[in-house]
Amino acid sequence: MASILEIRHVSKSFPGVKALDDVSISLAAGSVHALLGENGAGKSTLIKIITGVQAPDAGEVLFDGASMRFSKPREAGACGIGVVHQERNLVMRFSVAENIMLDRLGAHSLSRVDHTAIADEAVRWLKMLDLDIDPGTPVSRLSVAQMQLVEIGKALSLRSRVLLLDEPTASLTPNESAALFAIIRKLKADGVAILFVSHKLEEVFGICDTVTVLRDGRNVCDSVPLAGLNRQDVVKMMIGRAEQLARRAPRSKPAASPLLELRGYSSDAGHRDVNLTVRPGEIVGLYGLVGAGRSELAKSVLGLSRQTGGEVLLNGQAVHITSVASALHHHGIGYVSEDRKGEGLILLHSVLDNAGITIWQRLASRFGLLHDATVAREVGPVIAKLEVKTPSLQQTIGNLSGGNQQKVSVAKWIAAGVKLLIIDEPSVGIDIKTKAYLHDLIHELAGRGTAILLITSDMPEMVDVADRILVMDRFRIKGEVENDRVYERVSQAIMTFIHDRKAA
């Protein structure tokens, strides 16, 4: 197949780091090409260069054999290159329809917007993605997963000849991912060249034809057919060694009284009669499809929406938490947000500031003084264990890759030593090695007595990590599944609860 897009010997440096070093890749029409590598390997930087977000220091981008140098994403889009970035690129106060049709709202800035026409066009793409939301809904009201689907719908609506997908399923459930894969196969049949970036190797082998692997900003392989490779071959290219796979044994149920208990809990976010317990040393999973109310429940318990009924108990005592700060400093509760960019991190501040913000109050002297060296002694070992790729702790965190930002958003709560840790989509955008370490770390925290409430849309992650799993649907608990680590049985039991509309 002829190449429609070629990257030849591209290099790109930033202060303190060489993101890309002589990288090449070739995309053929009517194929799905995987771009793989650990966090910080240069994948997102390469996509930004292709689409004109950043300019290469050396090398060239060829489209249909002609050398191109895009200065902004709109130029790439006009040429036929669509992209879904790992970090969302939506206008929060605009509607779903306005975001999907953002580049086609009018001929110029003073054009009258035909809202009926753009809503009708948006519905077409929402239906294709099986996303049942009103196109007039402001994007700010959507969940992270719904925003991701809108971003994908926006890219699909451009009918691009080349489609770049950077972690498109990171926030999606298996059902939503399957719907996306059906669309990708149709686009492939129509001759579209698709670049697919993912840390989920089962997806890569299920949908991709060829692969390019980057390690530390350099090619390990360039446009190699996947048919001749297996999972261990790919993992070894990504991290320099074979993957060690081990199935965890089920853990014994803690005998301690619940640390967190919800009794008949209701909220103005829509929850009704929710009951759950999390004991010290226990990992309780919350699983559900987009819109099930899992993240909203976590935020409601932390005081970000109003409790309208029932009780929240900590160590058997009824409490009313009004803010995330109060949850941390008065009750020892931490929250790893699924939206690291909007809620989890301060992007203009340093790695040190972001990792240490949860312990500033504890480390400050009686006069309120706090030195960076004091904070670094506490957070440095955690940053090192998570292998955050950064030139220094003083590096602005907004300059790190998305996966390394996610590591820091987890590190700050580990450093805080909380009693209860709510973890919302912990492995979004994290590479395979760090994901395995993070799972081990969660078990290590539980082994030390930390109570953990885990929210994830990654079914294998849920089965690997949780002790027991609560299934949510339409803002209610539908049932509970004991986790014996037998994936086929556990996943089937979870989906049975989700699709049984008669269950409580």
What's CA 477's distance to the chain center, in Å?
24
Answer yes or no: is 443 within a domain: no
C-alpha pair distances (Å), 406 with each of 122, 313, 316, 400, 457: 31, 30, 33, 10, 16
pLDDT tens string 158-199? 888 999 998 888 777 777 788 889 889 988 998 999 999 988
Residue 500 has pLDDT above 80, yes or no: no
Average pLDDT, the chain: 87
Do residues 180 and 264 share a domain? no
In DSSP terms, 163 is beta-bridged to 82, 194
69, 323 in Cβ contact below 8 A? no
Do residues 164 and 285 share a domain? no
CA 368, CA 427: separation in Å to the nearest integer? 35
Do residues 177 and 271 share a domain? no
Q: Binning pLDDT at 50, 70 and 90, where does residue 60 land?
A: very high
Count of structural domains, the chain: 2
**Mean pLDDT, rounded, for 248-273:** 89
Closest CA to 460 of 431, 499, 414, 491: 491
Domain boundary among 192, 211, 239: 239
CA 415, CA 385: separation in Å to the nearest integer? 12
Q: Binning pLDDT at 50, 70 and 90, where does residue 108 land?
A: low
The pLDDT value recorded for residue 171 is 73
313's tokens: 């108990």
Do residues 276 and 232 share a domain? no
Environment class of 493 (CB within 10 Å of its CB; exposed 0-12, middle 13-18, buried 19+): middle
pLDDT tens string 415-463? 888 899 999 988 776 777 778 878 888 898 899 899 999 998 888 889 9
Answer yes or no: is 370 within a domain: no
pLDDT tens string 313-369? 999 999 989 888 888 888 999 998 877 666 778 888 999 999 998 888 888 877 778
**Sheet order of strands, 193-197 included:** 81-84, 162-166, 193-197, 32-36, 210-215, 218-225
- 244-423-432 Cα angle (round to 5): 25
Do residues 282 and 221 share a domain? no
The pLDDT value recorded for residue 441 is 83
Answer yes or no: is 405 within a domain: no
CA 420, CA 281: separation in Å to the nearest integer? 9
Question: Would you tell me the crossing angle of helices 144-157 and 115-128 to the nearest 10 degrees?
Answer: 110
Provide the domain limits for residue 324: 258-332+419-429+452-504
The pLDDT value recorded for residue 247 is 63
Do residues 63 and 132 share a domain? yes
Q: What CATH number did the domain enclosing 122 receive?
A: 3.40.50.300
Do residues 168 and 68 share a domain? yes
331, 314 in Cβ contact below 8 A? yes
Do residues 219 and 325 share a domain? no
Q: Binning pLDDT at 50, 70 and 90, where does residue 480 land?
A: very high
Do residues 205 and 289 share a domain? no
CA 139, CA 304: separation in Å to the nearest integer? 18
The pLDDT value recorded for residue 503 is 47
Environment class of 363 (CB within 10 Å of its CB; exposed 0-12, middle 13-18, buried 19+): middle
Answer yes or no: is 461 within a domain: yes
| Tokens 């009951």 sit on residue | 275
Residue 504 has pLDDT above 50, yes or no: no
